Structure 1
Amino acid sequence: MITLETAISFIAVAIALTIMPGPDILFVIAQSMSRSARSGVMVALGLCTGLLVHTSLAALGISAVVLSSKAAFTAVKWLGAAYLLYLAYRTWPRTKLDDAPAGPAADKEVYRHTAIAATAINTRNEVDHKQEVLSLSTLYRRGIWMNVLNPKVSLFFLALLPQFVSTSKGNVPFQMIQFGLLFICQALVVFCAASIVAGWLGGSIGRRSNKWNKRLSIIEALIYAALAANLVLLQF
């Protein structure tokens, strides 16, 4: 069982690491600004669920086994990078609607009204047939996969948790789970706070403006692409 003093020290270190600019908090902020604070909170819940997976794997020793295999490490790395590039593609704004059908038989007036209606429904982005309004459950799942498919998270936990574990304080895997849960709890609080602030900021500076939201979508897509590049460059 970990002591109160050790828990406080760990939480202080965890908070400092969480608030530093990194993939998770940047992802939460981008979603909150471009969509809403509630969207950011759902992403945060997904990210923390992914952290729970990594905590369990680290405590069971599975992370160490996977990371010791170059083939497994490379496979997870490329899966994560491919997923991030997919998100970048889906997030990149499309500014043109499909061309109206040509010819005398085409109903141009119906097409015009359809285009106007589509633009009105999606006030946060310039609408394209490939760009969808994401549901909260989709954002939650996106947060999970963001962390589960990131081997750097496993490396992070394997580097951080053992520094606070002591063999004299009982079962080591149980201690790692305790520290992992402490990290997840503080991360959720920090992410939710960031979501609220970023969501308010996004609304204040004009989330309803298509031009502004196009820029936010571009920034979000670039974040995904940068994270993918960072994963690709990660060496075994």
Structure 2
Amino acid sequence: MSLEFLLTSLVVVLLPGTGVIYTLAIGLGRGFKASVAAAVGCTLGILPAAVASIIGLAALLHTSALAFQVIKYLGVAYLFFMAWRIMKDDTVMEMPEDKSQIGYLRIATTGTLLNVLNPKLSLFFLAFLPQFISPSAPNATASLIWLAILFMMMTFIVFVGYGVFAAYAREYVIRRPDVMKWIKRCFAGTFGFLGAKLAIAN
């Protein structure tokens, strides 16, 4: 493990993306515990991409245009669905009466799907992880697994930090319905933009 890997990973994790937007939306709408569930889901959503890159499935996606396009447009559809859901479903950005584990499980599942349906993640890991491992190094596969685990741990910690920020801002926001309305529009617009960007990406 190198300092370069840690710093590069931190920059990548901090960059706003679907996971960050989703965690912030949940934190603002439902509070800190719900944002932790979102962070858990988004982190678990990285696992298939990390595993795929390690066993070579990411290379298959890179060479198989059909496989990449299928996963890509599933991701596009899900992002558009999230944009529509935030605008139409008040329970996404409002405090629900039901605070059971089932609600947290649903939040985590949605976060997981957001990352699972992002084909760019597998290609990212395919290009990113090997840069920090020497091909001739002993136990290279084990080293790749360890780096992927570290990346996921950093993702979870940073996303929880985003959730803390959103939860603290929540008390200010929920007293001002007009502010919440504009925040919902911004989040929905962001998901729509990310979906459109993914749709036209090569």
Counterpart of 2:87 in structure 1 is 92
Alignment match of 1:194 (pick from 155, 158, 162):
162
Query: Within 1, Cα distance between the matches of 2:180 and 2:29?
Result: 6
Asked if 1:170 corresponds to 2:121, the answer is no
Residues 51-100 of structure 1 show CA distances to partners (whole Å, capped at 9, x for unaligned) of 111111111111111221000010001101111111111110479xxxxx
Asked if 1:138 corresponds to 2:106, the answer is yes
With the length of structure 2 as denominator, give the TM-score of the two structures: 0.88
Query: Within 2, Cα distance between the matches of 1:41 and 1:73?
Result: 30
1:208 is displaced (CA, Å) by 4.1
> Which consecutive residues of structure 2, in runs of 5 or more, have no partner in the other structure?
none
The higher radius of gyration belongs to: 1
With the length of structure 1 as denominator, give the TM-score of the two structures: 0.76
Counterpart of 2:119 in structure 1 is 151
Query: Within 2, Cα distance between the matches of 1:16 and 1:90?
Result: 29
Describe the shift of the 1:94–1:182 C-alpha distance in structure 2 as closer, same or farther (beyond 3 A).
closer
Query: Within 1, Cα distance between the matches of 2:181 and 2:196?
Result: 23
Amino acid in the other structure paired with 1:218: R
Describe the shift of the 1:70–1:36 C-alpha distance in structure 2 as closer, same or farther (beyond 3 A).
same
Query: Within 2, Cα distance between the matches of 1:56 and 1:190?
Result: 21
Query: Within 2, Cα distance between the matches of 1:206 and 1:221?
Result: 17
Counterpart of 1:10 in structure 2 is 5
State whether residues 31 and 40 of structure 1, in contact with CA within 8 Å, keep that contact through their aligned partners in structure 2. Answer: yes
Query: Within 1, Cα distance between the matches of 2:65 and 2:48?
Result: 21
Count of residues in Structure 1 that have an aligned counterpart in Structure 2? 198
Question: Superposed, which structure 2 residues align to 1:51-90 within 5 Å?
Answer: 51-90=46-85
Query: Within 2, Cα distance between the matches of 1:94 and 1:45?
Result: 22
Alignment match of 1:224 (pick from 184, 191, 196):
191
> Which consecutive residues of structure 1, in runs of 5 or more, have no partner in the other structure?
1-5, 96-121, 127-131
CA RMSD of aligned residues (A): 2.4
Kindly indicate which of the two structures has a greater share of residues assigned to helix.
Answer: 2
Query: Taking every aligned residue pair, what percent have the same amino acid on both sides?
Result: 28
